[in-house]
Amino acid sequence: MPGTIVVEFFDSKVLRGNPLGDPHIRRIPVYLPPSYGRGDKRYPVIYLLAGFTGSGEMMQNRLPWTETFAERCDRLIAAKKMAEAIVVMPDCFTRYGGSQYLNSSATGRYEDHTAKELVAYIDREYRTIAGPRTRAVMGKSSGGYGAMILGMRHPETFGVVCCTSGDMYFLYCYLVDFPKAQDTYKKHGGCAGFIRHWGQRPKKGEMSLFPALNTLAMASCYSPNPKSKLGFDLPIDESTGELREDVWRRWLEWDPVHVIGRYARNLKKLSLLFLDCGTRDEFNLHHGMRIFSRKAKALGIRHVVEEFDDNHSSIQYRYDRSLELASRAFRKSRRAR
């Protein structure tokens, strides 16, 4: 018996009137495990966060030779590797590609939307076992970042955190893009010109534009500025490309590796903190993970780390591991009660 996907057309009060004019009605797929319809059992909940340029809905895309996310859960549940759980797949996409699941005056209050509004709704509408020990947040890439940052900031909400190839150590994962971003902005007469150009391109997938897009998107999340023309401060001088140290410091305030000390108490409350990353990650996120892990150890934060022999792309198969470990954490906590 397979589970089912319900798509919520969620009308977010929090996102209404967001500054980028992005939709406040979001399609949010919810996976209900096989037994959900046959009784009144309650279930742990997993919030699965999409990466940059992704959304919960895109996670349902059919890819060749690959099971869908629901099929993945069905298989893992049948094999007793995954607990029967509800999986919620939020949509925090913005017109720049993603919100990093943060509140920002430049994009909208995606942190509030995810960690508060949506959690409350799901707990109200579905038969969940509410509480941090049975509520996980996970994802890969920017979704892994979202899991980490939400876990750091809301341990009372999310007690189980799995971060796969998550953005961290911004010096290596973002800064390397800055000179290339500036080259692209310059070609379009500045970042504003690039945004206009981007909006009109029939084709968005050009890898050569990624640094320019990613840099401004992250700036919209990490260094919003309501008084600026774009709504955010770029971390670089638009005409020379020079790093703006003051803006960069504001970015670092959102770097897990940089702020781990400040959130150590919160992180210690988690029943699971799991990180994994490929050792050939093109965004150098394996370095970030190792640095995070070393700092976590020094701070006495329990966590599990795994490296795998792969790069950053097409690593959905790693969800198996997160789902398995989260399920064990759910079980342990139930026994503990």
Chain positions contacting a second copy, by CB under 8 A: 53-55, 57-58, 60-66, 93, 95, 97, 169, 171-172, 175-176, 178-180, 182-183, 202-206, 237, 239-243, 279-280, 284, 287, 290-291, 294, 310, 313-315, 317
Residue 227 or 240: which CB sits closer to a second copy? 240
Q: How many CA atoms lie within 13 A of 169 on its CB side?
A: 17
H or E element, residue 4: strand 4-11
Cβ 226 to a second copy shortest distance, Å: 25
Give the C-alpha separation, 303 to 258, whole Å: 17
**Residue 138 phi, psi dihedral angles, 5° rounding:** -150, 170
Cβ 200 to a second copy shortest distance, Å: 11
The radius of gyration of the chain from alpha carbons, rounded to an integer in Å, stands at 19
Q: How many CA atoms lie within 13 A of 32 on its CB side?
A: 18
Residue 73 or 171: which CB sits closer to a second copy? 171
Residue 189 or 265: which CB sits closer to a second copy? 189
Residue 243 or 304: which CB sits closer to a second copy? 243
Residue 135 or 318: which CB sits closer to a second copy? 318
Length of the chain: 337
H or E element, residue 47: strand 45-49
Cβ 202 to a second copy shortest distance, Å: 4
Cβ 246 to a second copy shortest distance, Å: 15
Residue 123 or 306: which CB sits closer to a second copy? 306
Give the C-alpha separation, 45 to 57, whole Å: 18
Cβ 294 to a second copy shortest distance, Å: 6
Cβ 197 to a second copy shortest distance, Å: 13
Q: Are 50 and 89 in contact (CB under 8 A)?
A: yes
Cβ 64 to a second copy shortest distance, Å: 4
Cβ 325 to a second copy shortest distance, Å: 17
Give the C-alpha separation, 25 to 191, whole Å: 28
Residue 7 or 120: which CB sits closer to a second copy? 7
Across-strand partners of 306? 276
Residue 170 or 274: which CB sits closer to a second copy? 170
Give the C-alpha separation, 107 to 48, whole Å: 21
**Residue 95 phi, psi dihedral angles, 5° rounding:** -65, -15
* Residue 132: count of CB within 10 angstroms of its CB: 18
Question: Per-residue DSSP letters for 164-204?
Answer: ES----HHHHTGGGHHHHHHHHHHTTSHHHHHHHHHH-S--
Cβ 53 to a second copy shortest distance, Å: 4
- Helical packing angle, 210-222 and 178-187, nearest 10°: 110
For 315, the token pair is 């690593």
For 156, the token pair is 């009372």
Residue 127 or 186: which CB sits closer to a second copy? 186
